[in-house]
A = this chain, B = another copy of it.
Amino acid sequence: MSWNSFGRVLRFTTWGESHGPAIGAVVDGCPPGIALTEGDIQPWLDRRRPGTSRFTTQRREPDAVRILSGVFEGRTTGTPISLMIENVDQRSKDYSEVAKAYRPGHADYAYDAKYGFRDHRGGGRSSARETASRVAAGAVARLVIPQVRVRAWVEAIGGDAIDPAAFDPAEIDRNPFFCPDPMAARRWEVLVDTARKAGSSLGAVVACEATGVPAGWGAPLYAKLDAELAAACMGINAVKGVEIGDGFAAAALSGEQNADPMRPGTDAPEFLANHAGGIAGGIATGQPIRLRVAFKPTSSILTPVETITRDGAAAEIATRGRHDPCVGIRGVPVVEAMVALVLADQALLHRAQCG
């Protein structure tokens, strides 16, 4: 099956392939009366845009978004918001070899197994290019919940992690790695450059924090806030793991070590720890929501890898063309977008039932 919609009441549907004429998203259920222009969306797309540094793919896409519906005189009308981004820099010739042999780690074989054939140009629908639609939709979601701030960054590349003590949010947008630790950013420059020149690639861990989420958002039991976030992030290209709060580290703790004690506070309880990542029983506690997302290294590498052709013959494939040496870097704005979309949906869901 294909299932290209996400969300319960604030729903979005994306469409489009890497090398088709355009990609886009339809955002439905957005509250009316919100000021919205292309200018509110474009900056977020620009953060995800390829070709901005030598550490990302060299495909040059302006990623200019157009709003085709749902906005009148600068405000949302409550009707579906159609967002379209034209594809400009497709080069189909780069992908001729891919039509014949499956690139291991990519969706090539799986799509063929499922659908019988596939649009092989640039990965078609399975290309990370689709995530531009998510970022555009996420920009709308942010406006639905202006009280919430969603911010992600890269926490580790190829196993080299930031120093938590050096965390400086102001640094995140000052380097091409969304890295909050300037020392780590310098190390990563060498690391990623080396991988890039060798035609290799690296995995990464992206962390995300959402502040301003009020206690009560979350839809137990089968649309729990943490379950929705896990689905939203695990569905991003190349993601293989999601943690809420302490995640796997919590599995090695005792109950005493993992406790998040509470004290009376001024407006809300004061929490003395946040091992839980701001979610209990699938419902926000009012603390910052914290999660971590593991991106595998880009599967496109220059080293030839054993594979098979569409006809089942043995082959070797080395993926030339334009690729991100570390797809996790541009995953930062995508994680943010998905988290914003989940939170905005949960905000409306909460209002539906609890007023």
**A258 & B117 in contact (Cβ 8 Å cutoff):** no
Contacts of A354 in B (CB 8 A): 1, 31-32, 78, 114-116
Contacts of A227 in B (CB 8 A): 230-232, 234-235
Contacts of A66 in B (CB 8 A): 21
Of listed A158, A241, A277, residue having the most chain B CB within 10 A: A241
**A105 & B276 in contact (Cβ 8 Å cutoff):** yes
- The yes or no answer to A216 lying at the interface (CB within 8 A) is yes
What's the number of copies of this chain in the assembled complex? 4
11 CB contacts below 8 A, A to B, read A13-B26, A14-B222, A115-B354, A126-B221, A226-B239, A229-B234, A247-B294, A251-B328, A262-B307, A275-B296, A348-B352
Known: A79-B125, A282-B235. A68 touches B113 (CB 8 A): no
Stretch at the interface among A42-50, A181-189, A194-202: A194-202
Total interface residues in chain A, CB < 8 Å: 154
Q: How far is the CB of A221 from chain B (nearest CB, A)?
A: 5
In A264-280, which residues have CB < 8 Å from any B CB? 264, 269, 272, 275-277, 279-280
Contacts of A212 in B (CB 8 A): none
Contact with B along A32-60 (1 / 0, CB 8 A): 11000000000000000000000000000
Contacts of A111 in B (CB 8 A): 281, 283
Of listed A66, A348, A353, residue having the most chain B CB within 10 A: A353
Contacts of A125 in B (CB 8 A): 69, 77, 79, 220-221
The closest CB in chain B to the CB of A281 belongs to B107
The closest CB in chain B to the CB of A7 belongs to B222
CA of A276 to CA of B106 in the docked complex: distance in angstroms?
10
Contacts of A159 in B (CB 8 A): 251-253
